[in-house]
Structure 1
C-alpha cells in the first residue's frame, strides 16, 4: 500500500531524541531517510542505555525505517559524497548547535546553490538566532528555563521534571510538522526553505494558560500537584491498595460521581462549580475518605460504569498489558540481528487509505553505505572500493 511520503528523500544528520524522532516520523510515512553517521563511531544515541545484549534500545526507539551511511567529514572525498547526496535529496534534518553546518562548508547559501529545492530543518535548544543561540541545552535545562519545571510537582514540594523527555519529543513533532508544511509549499513555489525549531519555543508552547495569565493579569501560576487549575474534584487518591486518579470536575461528571458515591446530597452542597472549586480541599477530603477502603481496580470499573474519567495509576509494564493498548498496536516487535525481537513504539498517526508502517528495523551503523553509493549516487564497484580504501565512507 502506497505511503504518503514515498518518493521523498531525507538526509538525517541528527542525534539523541528530537532530530531522530523528527526524521523517524517522516520515515514512518514512506520517506527514504538516510541517517548520516560518523564513520566507525555511529550516532551518539547508540551509546545510551537501556541495553539488550549490547544493543542500545535508546537508539532503536528513534531510528526505525531508516538506512544508515557512515561518512568521515574530515575526509575531502567524504565531503564530496555528502554534497552529491544533497543534490539528490528533498530534505536535510540536523540538530547540531547553530553554525555547525556552516563551519563544515554547508551554510544556507552553499546548500541552496547545491539544491535550490532542498528543505533544511534545524532543531536546536535555543533556535538559530537570539542572544542564547550558542548555549548548550538539554530537555531538562529547557524545562527549568521556560517555567515548566516550576509548574510541575506537589504544591509544597520542590519543582519537578516531567517523567520523560517531553520537550525533546514535542520538538521532534514540530520539526516533522515544519517539514510537511515546507514540502506542501514547495509544490507551489518549486523552492526549498529553512525551518527553525527550538526546544525553548516548544517549552513555552505547552504552558497553556500560564503565559496569558501572567501577561494579561500579572498572575504567576504555581504548582497544583495532581489537582486541576479550573475545576474540582480532580486528584490522585490513595485507595485500599494503590493510587487512582479521578476527574470529577465537570458539572455533568460531578453529578454522576455523586450518584456513584451514593451521595446525592453533595450536589446540594457543592452543586455550584465555582463554590466547589473554591472549596476544593473539602470535597477532596470527602472523596479521599470514600476511596480509601476500596480496591483501586474495582473502583476504576465502578467509576467507568458511571462514565466518570478515572484510572488506576499504573506503571509502564501494567499499562502495556492493556488489551486496548495491544489492539491499537502501541508497541510492535521487529527482529534485530543477533538478539531477536525488539520492541518499538507503534505508528501513532493512523491514516485510513495510506497508513504508515514499521517496514525496516533500526539499521546497524553504516549498514547501507554501499547500497546508497550504488543505487542513489550511481557509483561503480571500483569507485566504492576506492572510497572505502580512503576511509571516506
Structure 2
C-alpha cells in the first residue's frame, strides 16, 4: 500500500488523465499539497513523457518528478469496458484533469454531461494549447509554439541575434500553475455554493504565457512599443545584467530600486554615480544603460567572484553567481531549507528532486514517492473500487488495463 497523502488538500480526490507536462504538472502540484491523485495512462507505452530524456537504465527521470505522489493505473478510455471502469473512478473523484485536444473525450463518449451525470460536483480542468474554442482549437500544441505565439520568445535572446527559446518548456509549467490555481478557485466556489454543478475550467497554455508577461500588452496599447530582445540586460531597471568577474566567473546583479542602486555604487566604490544626473533615477539609468553597464562591468571585472560575493553581502546588494545544477545542490541555503529531498522510487531505490513549494505552517505537504511505473497501482486502485483479482486479470488480458 502507498503512504497516505499529507497536506492542506488531504482528502481531495483527483483523476489525472492528462499527458506530458502541463496537465500532469497541475495535478502534481495538487498532489504535493496532499490531494490523492490517480494517474491514468493508456496500456502499453503509457504517457509520452516517459519517452522524453533524460533516462537512467530505461527509467524516465523527468516522469518521476512530474508524476510524483500519484498512484499509477492503466486504462484504455476508448473501449466500452474502459469507459465503464473510468465512470467508477470518476464517481469517487472531486477533480478531473485532462489535456486531450478539444473534442477528443466527447468523441469517446466522455462528455461533460456524462461526467456530471456520474459526479455532479466534479471540477473538470481542461488544459490545451489554445483553448476549447476559437480557430486554433484543433491545432496540435507544444511549449515552443505557446512561447512564440505569446510574445515571450521574441523578447529572449541577444539584442542583435535571433529569438531564443529557453532550455526548458517553461510555458507548460506556467499553464500547469494556472490550471492548479483554477482548480482551487473552482473548489472554493463549490464550498460556498454546493447547489451548483462542478465547473469546467478552460486553461489555454498560450493565454497563460501571455498573462505572465504582464506589461507587454499595456505597453503596446498605450505607447505603441513592440518590445524585443536585450540579451541579459533588464529592460525596465538598471543596472541589471550578467557581469564577468576577474576570475572568469559570471554574476547576475539586480538593482531595481533606488536604495539598492546606492548600495551597489558604494560597494563598488562608485559613489560619484549616485549624484550623476545620467543615473539619478531608474528611468534615467535605463535611458543611459550602455554607459552605466560599462562602468559597472569595469568595476566588477577587477574583483574575483569571492570578493564580489563578500562586498555585496556586506552592502546588501542583490546578487547571485550563475549556478548550474551542481551548484544548486551545494548551496547552503538550499541545504538548510531541504529544497532538494530524497524520495523512494520503485525502479531506482531512491532519487533526489525538488521539495514542495510553498510551505504550509500547519499542514505541510510532502513528496512521498517518485512517479509510478506503468500500472503500478492497478490492483490497489481497482481493488478498492470493488473489482476482484479475477476481474482485474480479465481486464488486463483484454488490454482494457
TM-score, normalised to structure 1's length?
0.95
How big is the shift at 1:308? 0.8
Cα distance in 2 between the residues matched to 1:248 and 1:82: 54
Instruction: Specify the alignment match of 1:350 in structure 2.
Output: 359
Correspondence for 1:296: 305
Would the aligned equivalents of 2:344 and 2:368 in 1 still touch at CA under 8 Å?
no
1:370 CA displacement: 1.3
Given candidates 146, 161, 167, the residue that maps to 2:165 is: 161
In 2, the alpha carbon distance for the partners of 1:275 and 1:361 equals: 50
Report the Cα offset of residue 387 of structure 1. 2.5
Distance in 2, Cα, partners of 1:392 & 1:231: 57
Structure 2: state its 5+ residue gaps.
none
CA distance in 2, matches of 1:220, 1:71: 48
SS state of the match for residue 203, structure 2?
A: strand
List per-residue Cα deviations over 1:163-195 (Å, max 9, x = no partner).
321110011011111111111111222221100
Instruction: Identify if the C-alpha distance between structure 1 residues 155 and 64 changes in structure 2 by more than 3 Å, giving closer, same or farther.
Output: same
Find the counterpart in structure 2 of residue 124 from structure 1.
128
Does residue 242 of the first structure (1) align with residue 249 of the second (2)? yes
Question: Which position in structure 1 is the counterpart of 2:263?
Answer: 256
In structure 2, relative to structure 1, the CA distance for the partners of 1:392 and 1:321 (3 Å cut) is same
Judge conservation of contact 1:28–1:347 (CA < 8 Å) in 2. yes
Aligned to 1:320: 329
Q: For residues 21 and 61 of structure 1, what CA distance do their matches in structure 2 show?
A: 9
The CA deviation at 1:2 is 5.3
Q: Secondary structure at the match of 2:186?
A: helix
Structure 2 counterpart of 1:201, from 195, 207, 230: 207
Shift of 1:250: 2.2
> Contact conserved, 1:60 with 1:344, CA < 8 A, in 2?
no
SS at match of 1:6: coil
1:192 aligns with 2:201: no
- The residue number in structure 1 matching 2:280 is 272
CA contact (8 A) 1:76 1:392 kept: no
Q: Is the 8 A contact 1:13 1:37 kept in 2?
A: yes
1:312-345 Cα distance to aligned partner (Å, 9 max, x none)? 1121211221010122222212232342221222
User: Aligned partners of 1:24 and 1:111: how far apart in 2?
Assistant: 22
Distance 1:125 1:2 in 2: 32
> Structure 1 runs of 4+ off > 4 angstroms?
none
Q: Write the mapping of 1:147-158 to structure 2, written as runs, cut at 5 A.
A: 147-158=151-162
Could you tell me how far 1:388 is from its partner in structure 2?
2.9
Match for residue 368 of structure 1?
377
Across the aligned residues of Structure 1 and Structure 2, the Cα RMSD in angstroms comes to 1.6
Give 1:226's match in structure 2, choosing from 232, 249, 270.
232
Which of the residues 97, 100, 104 maps onto 1:100?
A: 104
Q: SS at the partner of 1:195?
A: strand
Residues in 2 aligned to 1:267 and 1:388: alpha-carbon distance in whole angstroms:
73
Q: CA deviation at 1:5?
A: 1.6
CA change 1:235–1:87 in 2 (3 A) is same
Count of matched residue pairs: 392
Note the C-alpha offset of 1:390: 2.9
How far off its partner does 1:249 sit?
4.1
What residue number does 2:399 align with? 391
TM-score normalised by length of structure 2 = 0.93
Distance 1:120 1:32 in 2: 16
SS at match of 1:344: strand
For the Cα contact (< 8 Å) 1:331–1:343, is it kept in 2?
A: yes
Query: Separation in 2 of the partners of 1:158 and 1:244?
Result: 24
What SS is found at the alignment partner of 1:220?
A: coil
**Structure 1 runs not aligned, ≥5 long:** none
Alpha-carbon distance in 1 for matches of 2:69, 2:391: 27
Moved more, 220-229 or 317-326: 220-229
Deviations 1:107-158 (A, max 9, x none): 1112121221111100010011111111111111111111111111111111
Q: Distance in 1 between matches of 2:358 and 2:375?
A: 29
Matching residue within 47, 62, 77 for 1:43: 47
1:247, distance to aligned residue in structure 2 (A): 1.9
- Name the CA distance, whole Å, in 2 between partners of 1:284 and 1:231: 12
